[in-house]
Amino acid sequence: MDSQKLNKIIVVGDSCEDLFFKVDRIPAVGETLDAQGSSKSFGGKGANQAVGVARLGYQVEMLSQLGNDSQGRQLKALFEEYGVQTYNMKLLDSVDTGIGFILQLRSGNNVVISVGGANTAYDKDMTTFDSEWVQAIQSSKILLLQRLIPDYVNLVAAKIAKEAGVTVILDVGGMQSHVLPELIKFVDYISPNETEVARMLGLQLTGDKAELDQELERFIRKYPHVKVVLKLGEKGCSYLWLENDEIKSISKVAYSFSDYPELQLADTAGAGDSYMAGFACKLLDECSIEECMEYGNKCGFLCVSKAGTMNAVPSKEEIEKTFSK
C-alpha cells in the first residue's frame, strides 16, 4: 500500500435506525403474528463496518447521508462517540434517515427489510462526488463498500479509489439485484455470504455445490484481478484467487461456542459486517490473508454472542480478552 497515504479506512455506505422484533417464525401472507419483544438501535451495513473498524482501534471515516431528523442527528453523535470520523457526513433536509426492520427468529437467525431513505437519495446521473468526499477517499488506503446504497454510487466511489491507488473491498450484502459488472472491474476484494453468491455471479443457482464451484471458477477467471472472500457463517470462511492460471483457495474454520462456554448465540445480525471490519483492519496492517481471515472470524463470532447490530460489534479489548485464553 502507498506509504504516502493516511493509515485510514474510508467507508462509503448506509446508516439507519434498526427496529427489532422477536418472533418465533416468519409470518405467512395475511397473518398477524405476536412479537415476544421489540427494541431499537442504530446500524446499517456501512455503519456497522465503520464502527467495527473504530472499535478495533483503527482510524476510519464514514461517508454517508442521513436525514436531518432526530434519528439522523442521534446517529451522527453516536458515530462520534465510537470514534468514527464524521467530518463529511451529510444531513439532508428533504428525506428521512433510513430504517431497517429486523425479525429476530427463535433460531437466532434474522430477516431484514430495509427502507433506504437518505441512503438512496443520490443523483442518478452523478459522475463524481463533491471535493470533500473525493479527497477523503483519495487520501486513505482502503475503501469499504456495501450494497445498501445504489450501485451507481459505489461505482463512482470505486473509480475514484482505483485512480488514486486505494484498495477497494466490496461486501455483496444489501440489494437483491446482481452486482454491476462494471463495478467489479474496480474492486480488489469481493465478499458475499452463501446466500449472496448468486448476486455476485449474476446467476440463478440451484444450490448444487458442484455448480457453485464451477461458477465461482468462471467468475474468478473472468475477473482475475479480484479476490473472493466467501463468508460461510458457522462454517467459517474461504478465500479464492487466480494464480498462474490455477484457482487457489484457503479456508478457515469458524470459532465454536462449545469452546467458549461463557458465550452463547444471541443473533446473527451484523456478523458479516464485523467480519469485514476485522478483515479490512488486518489488511491495512499488511498482515497475511490467513491472519485477515482469522481476525474476521474472531470479530464475527463475538458479534453473534450479543444482541443488536452496531452495539454488538466487538472491541479490540474484547477480542484480546476472549482469545488470549
Binding residues for substrate are 16-18, 44-48, 273
Q: Which residues are annotated as a binding site?
A: 16-18, 44-48, 193, 231-236, 267, 269, 272-273, 297, 303, 306, 308
> Active site residue: 69, 151, 188, 273, which one?
273
CA–CA separation, 137 vs 148, rounded Å? 19
Q: Which residues are annotated as a binding site for K(+)?
A: 267, 269, 303, 306, 308
Query: Which strands sit side by side in the sheet containing 237-243, from one edge to the other?
Result: 59-63, 8-12, 142-147, 167-174, 189-191, 227-231, 237-243, 246-252
Q: Which residues are annotated as a binding site for ATP?
A: 193, 231-236, 272-273, 297
Q: Is 24 a catalytic residue?
A: no
To which residue does cell 431528523 refer? Answer: 69
Strands 189-191, 167-174: pairing kind? parallel
CA–CA separation, 147 vs 141, rounded Å? 20
Strands 59-63, 8-12: pairing kind? parallel
Of 54, 47, 50, residue with least CA distance to 10? 50
Residues with active-site annotation: 273
